[in-house]
Amino acid sequence: MKAAGRRIVVVGAGMSGLTAAAYLSREGQEVLLIEKNSDVGGLLNSFKRDGYLFDAGPRSLINSGIVRPMIRQLGIDLELLPNVVSVGIEDEVIRITSKDSLKDYERLLKTMYPESIADIDTILSKIKAILKHMAVLYGIDNPNFKDLKNDKQFLVGELLPWFPKFLFSLYKMNRMNEPLEDFLGRLSADQSLMDIIAQHFFKKTPSFFALGYFYVYLDYLYPRNGTGELPRAMKQKILDWGGTIQADARITEVVPSEKTALDAHGRSYRYDRLVWCADLKTLYRCLKTDGLNPKVKANINKQKDLLLSKHGAESVFTLFLGVEEDPETFRSVCSEHFFYTPSRKGLGETHRSDIKKIIDDFPNKTQKEILRWLDAYCELTTYEISIPALRQKSLAPEGKTGLIISFLFEYELMKKIRDAGWYEEFKTEVEDRMVNVLSRSIYPGLKGKVRLRFSSTPISLFNRVGSSEGAIIGWSYETGVPAVSNLRKIASSVKTPVPGVLQAGQWTFSPAGIPTAILTGSFAAHRILKNKS
Ligand SMILES: Cc1cc2nc3c(=O)[nH]c(=O)nc-3n(C[C@H](O)[C@H](O)[C@H](O)COP(=O)(O)OP(=O)(O)OC[C@H]3O[C@@H](n4cnc5c(N)ncnc54)[C@H](O)[C@@H]3O)c2cc1C
């Protein structure tokens, strides 16, 4: 049903842009997907180096009732491998293989914090209650990725009985939007215990979302041959359905009155509808509002001021290692996806007032003082470690193992360090500490077996995908979220005050991530297909 002469331009080929373009081209629309990089996937991508496969973004995909049904609906041929998560503190590691693993988590916490057993019981009872709601929210395939007209069995057998339970869980979820730190603070005075539970989440993450992660751990999937296989397969579908992809084209101007976008090479793209799936501050910076009605202009400027006053969420520092050691040696310690904290002490002020003082008073801090902070941070923080070869042996050379090791890291600090001309040296300091800490704790002897080593920083993320403040999941909870965050309103989150322009992706809905990037991309596509503004 190609609408004669109607052209839809989608800007940004991350998961939201790929989803929007896939659903539109599947329906025969004339789609042009424009991407500033040479490859697709945005924050979700993997790459090969010296025979190792590394995932640069998410280590695996959270299904959330969205990823699997979307893949099925689009007819994408992609094998999804299991992804077992383990959690470790000091020398204790548990594997999360079923809901019953919550008992192991409880034992782990009680071993580490014997003086806070009553608090742990209270916290665990809250987690158990949340898990029941998570099982409802994510328990069935998301109806937006089902053919409701023809799948009566799903409609009558699953969706209708599920709906009242869904509304109740949603109500409970919306009542637990309190920041995790405040919520835990009401349940315990043990700062180390609270840190261990909270410190690998973004600051001020809503409690429901963070404490529901125990469910999420059981809901991860890993595409055979790496996470980048999903965007690659979606790209192929778009091309098969007659869509066009323009790579290496960074959009620098959008002129709604002329329905035109321009790229950095001066090329011009006319559109009837535009879906913006890239960094949202960038859209408002490159909008040219001349020729628009004054009321529309005022609304756009108001939204621009609001967005530019907000901050992207925390970013990450990632270390990629090639190690002369068989994957099975690592399997004896942990599973393929591992959240590890080397010390039960917790980050305490290291991640709050100490880092703030360093950033605020940067020019007056000596390198020695900053490195002292870094020592403490690397000793106390939580590491997310992914080992692709434990999911699929062929993802590393025979007898060797690739590790992807990351922790949250402040973009502002990295930016100041770069501006002070200390970037490469500082990167090496971080890498050294990460390897040293893990060699002294969970992986004895690691340091001597590293054969390949490189890293990416919040600055690399910003440079690659243009994500404001190097953010990996959209808006920061700390500065307030200028986006829809009520799941009931997610369909309308794709609207913008700009005539002819919709938005989708991680800046559109909060909490963000792969599932909501897919969901908002599909909502934008369906809005266009239904001819809604
Ligand atoms: C290390 C890491 C771990 C993560 N872990 C998880 C996780 O466990 N679970 C989860 O759900 N999510 C996770 N995420 C977040 C998730 O990857 C993102 O939220 C999601 O991929 C965002 O998709 P998007 O389409 O909204 O944006 P992006 O992926 O940012 O895509 C935007 C695209 O637009 C392009 N672009 C930017 N500016 C322009 C321009 N001017 N012109 C043309 N193109 C442009 C970019 O190059 C990019 O390809 C993680 C991310 C990272 C980096």
DSSP secondary structure, 338-360, as one string: EEEES-TT--GGGGTHHHHHHHH
Report the length, in residues, of the chain: 533
- When pLDDT is cut at 50, 70 and 90, the band that residue 1 belongs to is very low
Domain boundary among 141, 175, 208: 208
Give the number of the atom of ligand 1 that is nearest the alpha carbon of residue 282: 41
Average pLDDT over residues 299-313: 96
Residues 194, 247 within the same domain: no
Residues 118, 167 within the same domain: yes
Residues 458, 435 within the same domain: yes
Please give the structure tokens belonging to residue 376.
Answer: 């403490």
Domain-embedded: residue 385? yes
In the chain, DSSP finds a helix count (H) and a strand count (E) of 21, 20
Share of the chain above pLDDT 90, in %: 90
Residues 513, 433 within the same domain: no
Q: Is the pTM of the predicted complex or chain greater than 0.85?
A: yes
Nearest one of 383, 382, 390, 384 to 330, comparing CA atoms: 390
Residues 306, 318 within the same domain: no
Domain-embedded: residue 79? no
Residue 506 Cα to ligand 1 midpoint, Å, equals: 7
**What are the φ and ψ backbone dihedral angles of 9, each rounded to 5 degrees?**
-105, 130
Domain-embedded: residue 49? no
Check pLDDT > 50 for residue 3.
no
Please give the structure tokens belonging to residue 254.
Answer: 């959008």
Antiparallel, parallel or unpaired: β 268-270 and 260-263: antiparallel
Residue 321 Cα to ligand 1 midpoint, Å, equals: 23
Please give the structure tokens belonging to residue 166.
Answer: 């869904």
Domain boundary among 434, 465, 496: 465
CA dist 245 to 25, 37, 39, Å? 11, 11, 10
Q: Which of 407, 514, 523 gets mutated to test ligand 1 (max ligand atoms within 8 A of its CB)?
A: 514
Residues 394, 280 within the same domain: no
Residues 184, 299 within the same domain: no
Residue 469 Cα to ligand 1 midpoint, Å, equals: 13
Give the pLDDT of residue 531: 85
Residue 71 Cα to ligand 1 midpoint, Å, equals: 18
Ligand 1, CB cutoff 6 Å, lining residues: 11-17, 34-37, 42-44, 57-58, 62, 250-251, 277-279, 282, 316, 406, 465-467, 472-473, 505-506, 512-515, 517
| Average pLDDT of the chain to the nearest whole number | 95
**What are the φ and ψ backbone dihedral angles of 106, each rounded to 5 degrees?**
-60, -45
Check pLDDT > 70 for residue 4.
no
Domain boundary among 438, 465, 492: 465
The number of distinct structural domains making up the chain is 3
Check pLDDT > 90 for residue 213.
no
Domain hosting residue 183, numbered range: 93-208
**395 Cβ contact partners less than 8 Å away, ≥ 6 residues apart:** 52, 53, 225, 226, 388, 389, 402
Domain-embedded: residue 81? no
Q: How many CB atoms lie within 10 A of CB 311?
A: 17
Helix axes 514-529, 15-26, angle to 10 degrees: 30
Check pLDDT > 80 for residue 175.
yes
Q: 70-89, pLDDT tens digit by residue?
A: 999 999 999 999 999 999 99
Domain-embedded: residue 447? yes
Range with lowest mean pLDDT among 214-218, 249-253, 325-329, 419-423: 214-218
> How far apart are alpha carbons 196 and 119 in whole angstroms?
13
